[in-house]
Structure 1
Amino acid sequence: MHHFSFPYYFFFYNFLCLCLCLLPNSLYFIFFHLLLHALKSIPEETTYTHQYQTYLFNPNNLKHPITTASSPSLLVFPKCFSTSFATLLCHCFINFESESFLHVNSIVLFDSLGGFLWVFHIFAYFCFFFDFRMGPIRGFKRKKKVEKKVDQNVFAAASLSSQLQPLDWWDEFSQRITGPLSQSKNTKFESVFKISRKTFSYICSLVKEVMMAKTSNFTDLNGKPLSLNDQVAVALRRLCSGESLSNIGESFGMNQSSVSQITWRFVEAMEEKGLHHLSWPSTEEDMDQIKSKFKKIRGLPNCCGVIETTHIMMTLPTTESANGIWLDREKNCSMILQVIVDPEMRFCDIITGWPGSLSDALVLQSSGFFKLSQDSERLNGKKMKLSESSELGEYIIGDSGFPLLPWLLTPYQGKGLSDYQTEFNKRHFATRLVAQRALTRLKEMWKIIKGVMWKPDKHRLPRIILVCCLLHNIVIDMEDEVQDEMPLSHHHDPSYRQQSCEFVDNTASIAREKLSMYLSGKLPP
């Protein structure tokens, strides 16, 4: 630490040190505020690095003028003060309790205070004269022993704080939040990101290799480089809040371009490293567990999944919306997401990217799942005996918007249904709620795909939808308690009417009839 040292200052320092030793507590208060007034004259933020720590001095914020990752507070003095003299001042203020400085464990010397030295010199002489003529304030002698003990305690605390690890990432990051988000009543981590700290840490570890492989120059508006946690936080907030790029940028102190680039880099990393969280059960044991859990819902045996479709609504330029391909039956511009869900609301298979004008049946027929199932490469596991002459293969269920197929059972349609057919429809509907709730939760947790998106990139949107589905599954896989706080609703497309598909496979019709009779106890042995 460099400072000016002139011979004639030597005597002045010793004399001033003597004066300060005689200062009563009430005059410390006056001196301290004169010091703050002088600090306010520093024209702009100054960054100073000392003992491997970087301290930021902000003269426009005297409530918290100095911030650092690991030091509670600092005292700032002119650069022309000697180190020994500044140390003495630290001793003088070690007991001073204020909003700004509670502990002193470092000294930072600045050379921007010039003229304040003369004010300080005159004030020091005045203090000495006042104290010499009037004597110490009543009670000062009695308090000296107590103050000495406090000095030792504070120094011990300051020494301990210097040995502590840096502040927790979220504690430091949350202090940088500004804008409307900072004014929210609830800025807990779980409220901001819709996931627990445990899940957040796992996601960071998942994408670390990919996100850190490329050299990034992402910084906030103050020029501070963004860590991996910072970048994941920005991307997750963008996906879970659905807020605009400008709002996210305002909240986290960065420009819109950085928010967009960080989010897209996160999407790419999740695509590369997170796909194993969305897959069809690979073992017979896994499939048996799924069947068992579905049966516990309303008794449907050998059921392997529920298929459901939802719409991601968006606003498109007039030229694109005019051709009608993206207009769905409710006259909204939308993109379709079709999912197959297990009993724990986990997505086992998805297809997205198709325009909203396509029916549920057409989207299904265009999927890889349809081809695999038709070729008996999927849903080809153990069959269940319904009677001596009847067997039931593996299947999924879906609403009346899908075709009735040997591996896809839909409800009965029309009026005049028998008792066992009505009972089957009730069981079918209750089991189907799993998929409807999964899609509702998906949109509630990852609000970027809820509501109406403003002119999205239709080539990138399917990839964003995929990543939201991956994150949905990760929350389930991590057994995140945050999901338990989400409301259980099944209205993921509240303004959409039920579709109807007339296609019926004869073999599937017979299988559904036998299953319905079996469930009602009316199937002959």
Structure 2
Amino acid sequence: MFVSFAGESFQSLSYQFRMGVSTIRQFVPETCQAIYQVLKDKYVKCPDTALEWQQVATGFLSQWNFPNCIGALDGKHINIRPPPGSGSTFYNYKHHFSIVLMAMVDSYYRFLYVDVGCQGRVSDGGVFAGCTLADALENRTTNIPDPAPLPGSDQLSPYCIVADEAFPLKEYLMKPYPHRGLPPAQRVFNYRLSRARRVVENAFGILASRFRVLQTTINIQDTAKVENIVLACCALHNFLRTESCEVYMADMVDREGPDDAILAGRWREDPALQQASLPRATNATTRAKLTRDNLCQYFMSDCGAVPFQWGKD
């Protein structure tokens, strides 16, 4: 089973295990589905109480100095063979056929939420808008705690998820300030947000490096079976991250050196999963912009600044 996660073809597996290709093509997705069903409730569980969200936020504050952060969000392409008759539905901007893996991770590189299967031509922001997490956040059914004071301050700030430019700016979803030539305060904010958001890039990198089938074009035209394989990879990633961390994570993640420079993890030696494309526009509300501006000001204050943020772009 684990040989298929290494990215070998069904033809290669049929030679190794002396089974017919059609047999392997059937039981690999079925086994992956079983793996996910067994592991998901314990190892791929999105927080559903205020206390669980606060525990995630504590991790981001202690690990990455970003207060009231409850996750880092991103989307990546998984290359596939297009289903018959699908036309350009799965054709992405990198000229491959793909589905999108949308995921939110905690500060320890574990997947809290996974959505897989949206067509590759849809942007990150578009995928997010159609997933159950966005619906729950928008309708306030996730039990996220009420806004809390920022550390060392009496300023209330909403709990939020950090993401890149592909996503819409919301009170619960923080993204960088756009454009170049930003003033120092906004450059500091972008650095602090990028530092927290890097965990999701590392999580995807580790996932693809350990389960190398994700670096290939998955040779199955049934997208439901592809989804089973991807979900099993995510569940096994969390299982191994939790139960066998030292072996599984050894030298894999980015580290910060003595001068706070980034030391690349081993996952960067492998080809990175393709980033989903940017949407044409992401309109933001006044309240969302104010939330970002307040965080920006906090990071420049005596109680919110960290020594290594200065001079970072």
Normalised-by-shorter TM-score class: 0.7 to 0.9
User: CA RMSD for the aligned pairs?
Assistant: 2.5
Per-residue deviation at 1:343? 0.8
Q: Does 1:352 align with 2:131?
A: no
* Partner deviation per Cα, 1:496-525 (whole Å, 9 max, x = no partner): 5862543212101001100110111079xx
Aligned equivalent of 1:47: none
Gaps of 5+ in 1: 1-234
Per-residue deviation at 1:442? 1.0
* Partner deviation per Cα, 1:399-444 (whole Å, 9 max, x = no partner): 0000000100000001332211100100111111100010111111
Moved more, 407-416 or 295-304: 295-304
* Partner deviation per Cα, 1:329-379 (whole Å, 9 max, x = no partner): 122111101000001111111111111111111111111111110111126
Larger Rg: 1
Distance 1:480 1:300, change over 3 A: closer
Q: Does 1:459 align with 2:254?
A: no
Distance 1:486 1:255, change over 3 A: farther
Distance 1:380 1:290, change over 3 A: closer
Structure 1: which 4+ aligned runs deviate by more than 3 Å? 282-286, 489-498
1:431-470 equivalences under 5 Å are 431-470=196-235
Which of 237, 244, 247 is equivalent to 1:482? 247
Aligned equivalent of 2:261: none
1:315-330 equivalences under 5 Å are 315-316=81-82, 320=85, 323-330=87-94
Which of 114, 122, 129 is equivalent to 1:365? 129
Q: Which amino acid aligns with 2:65?
A: G
Q: Which has the higher helix share?
A: 1
Instruction: Tell me how far apart the structure 1 counterparts of residues 30 and 227 of structure 2 sit (CA, whole Å).
Output: 15
Aligned equivalent of 1:521: 301
Instruction: Tell me how far apart the structure 2 counterparts of residues 364 and 259 of structure 1 sit (CA, whole Å).
Output: 33
Aligned equivalent of 1:398: 163
Q: Residue 452 of structure 1: SS of its match in structure 2? A: coil
Per-residue deviation at 1:486? 5.6
Aligned equivalent of 2:309: none
CA contact (8 A) 2:69 2:161 kept: yes
Q: Which amino acid aligns with 2:136?
A: L
Distance 1:456 1:450, change over 3 A: farther
Aligned equivalent of 1:84: none
CA contact (8 A) 2:77 2:276 kept: no
1:228-377 equivalences under 5 Å are 235-238=1-4, 240-276=5-41, 277-316=43-82, 320=85, 323-377=87-141
Per-residue deviation at 1:478? 0.9
Per-residue deviation at 1:469? 0.9
Q: Residue 401 of structure 1: SS of its match in structure 2? A: coil
Per-residue deviation at 1:494? 5.8
Distance 1:492 1:369, change over 3 A: farther
Q: Which amino acid aligns with 2:290?
A: I
Distance 1:497 1:471, change over 3 A: closer
Q: Which amino acid aligns with 1:304?
A: I
Gaps of 5+ in 2: 253-264, 304-313
Give the fraction of aligned pairs with identical amino acids, expressed as a percent.
23
Q: Residue 400 of structure 1: SS of its match in structure 2? A: coil
Question: Number of residue pairs matched?
Answer: 286
CA contact (8 A) 1:383 1:391 kept: yes
1:25-104 equivalences under 5 Å are none
Q: Which amino acid aligns with 1:499?
A: L
Q: Residue 223 of structure 2: SS of its match in structure 1? A: coil
CA contact (8 A) 2:79 2:98 kept: yes
Q: Residue 180 of structure 2: SS of its match in structure 1? A: coil
